């Protein structure tokens, strides 16, 4: 396969998955510049090592795996060791600067709670509820067993339900949850 053909293949990948990957990375990392850096790096690496995609394997989880691992790498190595980017790039502020009517408040609270989650829980929540990846595919993405994905999702849901922002936002659902537990 020539390089020209391969680059055309990369173009197809980008057209199909670049936007959704950037938005996913944005939710994981918390700001747009880092998300764009991570996704660009991910696509280049994925294209460079496209031979490692086993025949018959699903492309989407594989690509998400590249993206998630790049995001994790940034979360571990880069972001903690540098000054934060412009404040208006952060999830909180993006949500707040958008539509001033009611939906922004909900979005803001959920995003605020999401930011307080540990990275490994945030990843599964974003993949499950934003990227709409099945639990089985999430297991492939993060390189863990499906049971681990389930437990992480449960833990994430538990923490989100107990988060003060969400408790004040949706008391009815939380009350129903408490009643169900008791």
CB neighbour burial string for 149-168, b if at least 16 within 10 angstroms, e if fewer = beebbebbeebbeebebbbe
**Counting contacts by CB under 8 A, is residue 173 touching other proteins?**
yes
CA atoms within 13 A of residue 100's CA, in its CB half-sphere = 0
Contact set for other proteins, span 135-164 (CB under 8 A): 143, 157, 160-161
Separation CA 160–CA 108 (nearest Å): 13
Angle between helices 146-162 and 102-115 (to 10 degrees): 120
75 binds other proteins (CB under 8 A): no
- Binder of other proteins out of 52, 134, 145, 151 (CB under 8 A): 52
**Binder to other proteins among 16, 49, 151, 168 (CB under 8 A)?**
49
A 10 A CB-CB count for 174 gives: 15
Contacts with other proteins by CB under 8 A lie at 3, 6-7, 10-11, 14-15, 18-19, 22-24, 26-27, 32, 36, 40, 42-53, 62, 65-66, 68-70, 73, 91, 94-95, 98, 103-104, 106-107, 109-111, 114, 125-126, 129-130, 143, 157, 160-161, 170, 173, 176-177
């Amino acid at each position: 396969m020539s390089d020209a053909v391969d680059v055309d293949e990369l173009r197809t990948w980008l057209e199909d998955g670049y936007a959704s990957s950037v938005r996913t990375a944005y939710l994981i990392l918390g700001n747009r510049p880092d998300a764009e850096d991570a996704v660009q790096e991910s696509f280049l690496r994925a294209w460079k090592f496209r031979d490692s995609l086993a025949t018959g394997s699903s492309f989407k989880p594989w690509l998400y795996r590249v993206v998630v691992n790049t995001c994790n790498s940034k979360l571990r190595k880069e972001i903690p060791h540098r000054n934060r980017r412009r404040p208006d790039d952060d999830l909180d502020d993006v949500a707040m600067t958008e539509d001033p009517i009611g939906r922004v408040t909900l979005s803001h609270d959920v995003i605020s709670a999401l930011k307080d989650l540990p990275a490994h829980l945030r990843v599964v929540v974003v993949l499950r509820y934003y990227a709409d990846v099945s639990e089985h595919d999430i297991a492939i993405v993060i390189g863990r067993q499906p049971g681990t994905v389930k437990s992480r999702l449960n833990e994430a849901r538990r923490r989100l339900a107990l988060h003060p922002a969400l408790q004040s936002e949706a008391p009815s659902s939380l009350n129903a949850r408490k009643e169900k537990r008791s």
